[in-house]
Amino acid sequence: MNLYNYILQQADNTLILGQRLSEWCGHGPVLEQDIALTNIALDLIGQARSLYQYATEIEGKGRTEDDLAFLRDVWDFKNIQLVEQANGHFGTTLVRQFFFDVFNFHFYRALQNSKDETLAAIAVKSLKEVTYHHRYSSEWIIRLGDGTEESHQKVQGAVNDLWMFTGELFVPSTADQAMLEAGIGVDLEKIKQLWMEKVTAVFQEATIRKPEDTWMQKGGKEGKHTEHLGFILADMQFLQRAYPGAKW
Amino acid sequence: MKEITLADKFQAKIDQEIKIEPKDWMPEKYRKTLIRQMSQHAHSEIVGMLPEGNWISRAPTLRRKLGLLAKVQDEAGHGLYLYSATETLGIDRETLLEQLHTGKAKYSSIFNYPTTTWADIGAIGWLVDGAAIMNQVPLCRCSYGPYARAMVRVCKEESFHQRQGFEILMTMMEGNEAQKHMVQDAVNRWWWPSMMMFGPSDGDSPNSAQSMKWKIKRFSNDDLRQKFVDICAEQAQILGITLPDPDLKWNEERQHYDFGEIDWSEFWNVVKGNGPCNKERLDARVKAHEEGAWVREAAMAHAEKRRKRKEAAQVA
């Protein structure tokens, strides 16, 4: 059960963030960035599929990747609250992306050494993609932070608003704890340090101020979510819910 | 006298199937015709992202979601090649976008229809991309080199989209009654607008003759439309759906399908801006552009700061 939950945490993170990013498709600030955001969405949803497929195998109840994505309700989703937050403007999206990408990069890097061969293989493949994502979002934080007065204020505002959702990245769930002990999962304490170093360095170059220590939201990994997730699911799951058992 | 010689040489190259390249001399009217056609094509690609983009968040399975996302992204890519190809004619993307946003430039009217169910995604792939391929394959041999080369890439991806659309419909036709109903309903709505994508009949198409002579265009609108009908009529049988045309039937003598009269008043009405989604589509493009202004400005400002810092470092 711990392994299953552990896989779902990451699968749900990547699916929900991919779903959010895909809302940009056709509405980006410039064609090249429209394409880039869609690329990242494609990678993340692709990662979610690999992880869900593995989770169904571990679960062994004959469910499919689509059952997991489309037929669970809010309380069963284990993504962190950060990834379900609204897109806002391009700067909000990029700040949310940057916070997650830095985590995701170090997460997969460490997961490559997992004792679980399937997870290690998924990590190797995903790391190639995430290396690019993490470079892309870092560059945009710098560009927007150190761009115009307006872009600086917009990014600083988004950082201030989203900061309280970053704490949860490093709060170990029961599954995180058990998988770390089993040599399957990653050490979130170590990732926290690496994450903080990278975020500090990028903020410095972007002339963005790191928010003061504040209350951190948490609970996503245990199925406690913000109001956003219900709407995401209502939208995403519509056809599977309206026509049970239909093949598409 | 000199102008005539250049024009003659130009036409001789075209007659010999030699491609015209950006730095070659070309008649002003050839340049203008290409700018109009290529930019309309580019605009159609990016406006075309909207009706299909409408279903990305609601795609019924993860596989379908990835397929649709990738497809809409391909359209953005086509827009990009086509804007770049148009820029070789001496006009920049910003100007072209302004023409789109102010309504001066047109895009394909097909994208002014709404996508109301998931079956529309299949129907667009099958019929709209199917019609687009008919129109576009001959453009791979267009006399203007950059356009022809861009179209080679575009056509490869479009034919993949068309198969994907057909497969979406096929899967639904193997499903429950509601799914079959959705497919028939979508085909009913998309059939005639797709037929109109080939443009007015040859007699009513003012630019056709000149474009044929310049080898921008290779086949007449009516010939391409007939080819489309012949293929779709057969494929509709495989799908098990009815095309919404009571006059559609095989003509043994012509070895083609006969088909009913197209309602051109609807076509011109949508071209003039009265389609169900004209305003919505254009508003969405304008909104994306306006809301993206600060991002584009910031990127420029940052690049400028970097350039200055680099210069200062070199001086020191």
pLDDT digits (tens, 9 = 90+) for B57-67: 999 999 999 99
Cβ within 8 Å of A, B 72-131: 72-73, 76-77, 79-80, 83, 118
CB A98 within 8 A of CB A76: no
Quick: pLDDT tens for B198-216: 999 987 777 788 999 999 9
Q: Smallest Cα–Cα separation from A156: which of B296, B288, B291, B298?
A: B298
Nearest CA to CA, how far is A12 from chain B (Å)? 13
Tokens found for residue B309:
């810092």
Mean pLDDT of A102-124: 98
Who among A30, A35, A246 is closest to B176 (CB)?
A246
Q: Do A45 and B65 touch (CB under 8 A)?
A: yes
C-alpha to C-alpha distance for A207 and B19, rounded to whole angstroms: 51
Q: Is A90 on the interface with B (CB under 8 A)?
A: yes
Quick: pLDDT tens for A2-28: 999 999 999 999 999 999 999 999 999
Who among B50, B171, B298 is closest to A143 (CB)?
B298
Structure confidence at residue B305 (pLDDT) = 96
Smallest CA–CA distance from A155 into chain B, residue: B295
Structure confidence at residue B202 (pLDDT) = 80
**Which residues are CB-neighbours of B152 under 8 A, at least 6 positions away?**
B140
pLDDT at B49 over 80: yes
Q: What percent of chain A has pLDDT over 70?
A: 100
Structure confidence at residue B262 (pLDDT) = 96
Q: Do B62 and A148 touch (CB under 8 A)?
A: no
Quick: pLDDT tens for A188-197: 999 999 999 9
> Considering only CB atoms, which chain A residues are within 8 Å of B63?
49
Please report how many Cα atoms fall inside a 13 Å half-sphere around the Cα of residue A134, on the Cβ side.
Answer: 20
Q: Is B65 on the interface with A (CB under 8 A)?
A: yes
Quick: pLDDT tens for A41-87: 999 999 999 999 999 999 999 999 999 999 999 999 999 999 999 99
Structure confidence at residue A230 (pLDDT) = 98
The position carrying tokens 């012509």 is: B254
* Strand, coil or helix: B314: helix
- Angle formed at CA B232 by CA B227 and CA B234, multiple of 5 degrees: 105
Q: Do A148 and B58 touch (CB under 8 A)?
A: no
**Which residues are CB-neighbours of B55 under 8 A, at least 6 positions away?**
B68, B115, B118, B120, B121
Q: What is the CA radius of gyration of chain A?
A: 18
Q: Do A248 and B288 touch (CB under 8 A)?
A: no
Q: Is A241 on the interface with B (CB under 8 A)?
A: no
The position carrying tokens 């949508």 is: B270
CA-based end-to-end distance of chain B: 59
Quick: pLDDT tens for B250-285: 999 999 999 999 999 999 999 999 999 999 999 999
**Confidence band (pLDDT; 50, 70, 90) for B293?**
very high
For A2-242, CATH number? Answer: 1.20.1260.10
Structure confidence at residue B248 (pLDDT) = 98
Structure confidence at residue B5 (pLDDT) = 86
In which element (H, E) is residue B250 found? strand B249-251
Cβ within 8 Å of B, A 146-205: 146-148, 150-151, 154
pLDDT at B2 over 80: no
**Confidence band (pLDDT; 50, 70, 90) for B3?**
low
Alpha-helical regions (H) of chain A: 2-22, 31-59, 65-70, 90-111, 117-145, 149-162, 174-181, 188-206, 228-236, 238-242
Mean pLDDT over each residue of chain B, to the nearest integer: 95
Who among A31, A33, A151 is closest to B294 (CB)?
A151
Q: What is the CA radius of gyration of chain B?
A: 22
**Confidence band (pLDDT; 50, 70, 90) for A187?**
very high
Phi, psi dihedrals of residue B251, rounded to the nearest 5°: -110, 105
C-alpha to C-alpha distance for B85 and A238, rounded to whole angstroms: 40
Q: Is A70 on the interface with B (CB under 8 A)?
A: yes
> Considering only CB atoms, which chain A residues are within 8 Å of B81?
none
What is the reported pTM?
A: 0.96
Mean pLDDT over each residue of chain A, to the nearest integer: 98
Nearest CA to CA, how far is A190 from chain B (Å)? 33
pLDDT at B316 over 80: no
Chain B interface mutation, best of A146, A149, A239, A240, highest count of B Cβ atoms under 10 Å? A239
Quick: pLDDT tens for A208-247: 999 998 899 999 999 999 999 999 999 999 999 999 999 9
Quick: pLDDT tens for B140-171: 999 999 999 999 999 989 999 999 999 999 99
Q: Do B292 and A151 touch (CB under 8 A)?
A: no
> Considering only CB atoms, which chain A residues are within 8 Å of B176?
243, 246
Residue ranges per structural domain of chain A: 2-242
Who among A25, A31, A46 is closest to B72 (CB)?
A25
Smallest CA–CA distance from A142 into chain B, residue: B302
C-alpha to C-alpha distance for B232 and B162, rounded to whole angstroms: 12
